[in-house]
Amino acid sequence: MTEEKTETSEKSCGSARNCRRIYVSQDTRPRTGTKPTTIDGKYVAEHLGSALTFALAELAEKRPKDPIEYLSKWLYKYRENMDHNMQQEALIENLKQAEEEKVLEAERKERIKTEQKQLEEEERQRKIKEEEEKKKKEQEELQRKAKEAALAQRPNLETVTEEGEEETPSKEKDSKGQTELHRLAAQEGADMRTLINMGYSIAERDADQKTARDIAEVAGITDNVQAIDNYVRDLLKEENVDELEQLVLEGYDKLESILESITDQSEDLKQFTSSLPDYMMNRTPLHYAMGLNNEDLVTLLLANDADTTVKDVLKRTPSDYREHSDVIKDMKDKLSPPSVQQESDGKEETQQQELSTQQEVQGGEATQQEQQPTQQAVES
């Protein structure tokens, strides 16, 4: 049978010159791959096994004219491709790592930001809690002092004070000129009546010339404003004229609206109400003359030794009202009814006319005195 195959191949090839003889192995037993056992064999199998396998397979498929050159170039190209693939894999790995680091960094920043906000919120809550506790302690302390002061007071006994001694104890002020009454006036839930009973004056003004009622009104705390007004209203109902006069003398200017709300007034209260313009915030006539720019009246007052250093309740001297004349004019409009204003204006005009007449008379007398020596000289 082998001879027949050989003869058949020879017949099919014939006498052709280019006919190639292909040897076909007759060994049809299955081959089992055995790993090399020598060091050289292991080295070749590890580093060249797959490359040579692919190269020989392509060499058998392409059948180039110079298989050795083709094989060498193919191996070089194979190596370049491997290096390029390794570089691309390394680049991809670096990009993945950079992206992961970027995500981790963003998460870290977000976590730090969240923790910072949480710490700030905790700090804010802590400060609010401390402030509330501080206010609570201050109110408790003030209430305790008020109770002690109330227990220490003896009813129906007048207190005798020495000359120069203040009847009401001085209350400490802070750097803004505010007493405890001013500070608590801007806080909700403050016991204003207790502070007033302890001796804090509602007419006391801070560095901005604001009373405790003004501060409460600006802060929008109507309960504190109402508490102060109720205290004044109680003074009016009790007809405590001495205390009311003291408030007016200290410059408290919120009595008008409360007075208007009380229709049933006694004679003392009516007399006090009608005499309110006479108190005038502790201002002297020189204050008003400066504020109204009445130079003649200022000259007349200074000629009669009017005090130029005296201060009113706003701590202003007469010379300060040259710049704040609007205060005097506003008070003049508020305190004086139209008839009184006309009468006062007429008095001012009369005074000015009298002054001008006196000046003219004095000027005429001086002229006559100057003319007498001249006439005597002419007669001689």
Domain CATH code at residue 354: 1.25.40
Q: What is the pLDDT of residue 360?
A: 59
Query: Domain end: 88, 119, 135, which one?
Result: 88
* CA pair distance 44, 63, nearest whole angstrom: 24
Q: How many domains does the chain have?
A: 3
Q: What is the pLDDT of residue 351?
A: 56
Query: Domain end: 30, 64, 88, which one?
Result: 88
255 lies in the same domain as 306: no
Contact (CB, 8 A) for 202 and 232: yes
290 lies in the same domain as 360: yes
199 lies in the same domain as 235: yes
In a domain, 223, yes or no: yes
* CA pair distance 257, 241, nearest whole angstrom: 17
Q: What is the pLDDT of residue 14?
A: 44
Specify the DSSP class assigned to residue 27.
-
Query: Domain end: 88, 111, 141, which one?
Result: 88
CB atoms within 10 A of CB 95: 10
In a domain, 238, yes or no: yes
- pLDDT tens for the 380 residues of the chain, in order: 444 444 444 444 444 444 444 333 344 444 455 666 677 667 766 767 778 888 888 888 888 888 888 888 888 888 888 889 999 999 999 999 999 999 999 999 999 999 999 999 999 999 999 988 988 888 778 777 766 765 654 444 444 444 444 444 446 777 788 888 888 888 887 788 887 888 888 888 888 888 888 888 888 888 888 888 888 888 877 777 778 777 777 777 777 667 666 655 566 555 655 555 545 456 677 666 776 777 777 777 777 777 777 776 566 777 777 766 565 566 556 545 445 445 555 555 565 566 566 555 555 554 555 445 544 444 43
* CA pair distance 314, 68, nearest whole angstrom: 115
In a domain, 361, yes or no: yes
Q: What is the pLDDT of residue 99?
A: 93
- Domain residue limits at 305: 285-365
Angle at 108 between CA 107 and CA 114, to 5 degrees: 90
185 lies in the same domain as 239: yes
In a domain, 205, yes or no: yes
In a domain, 153, yes or no: no
In a domain, 299, yes or no: yes
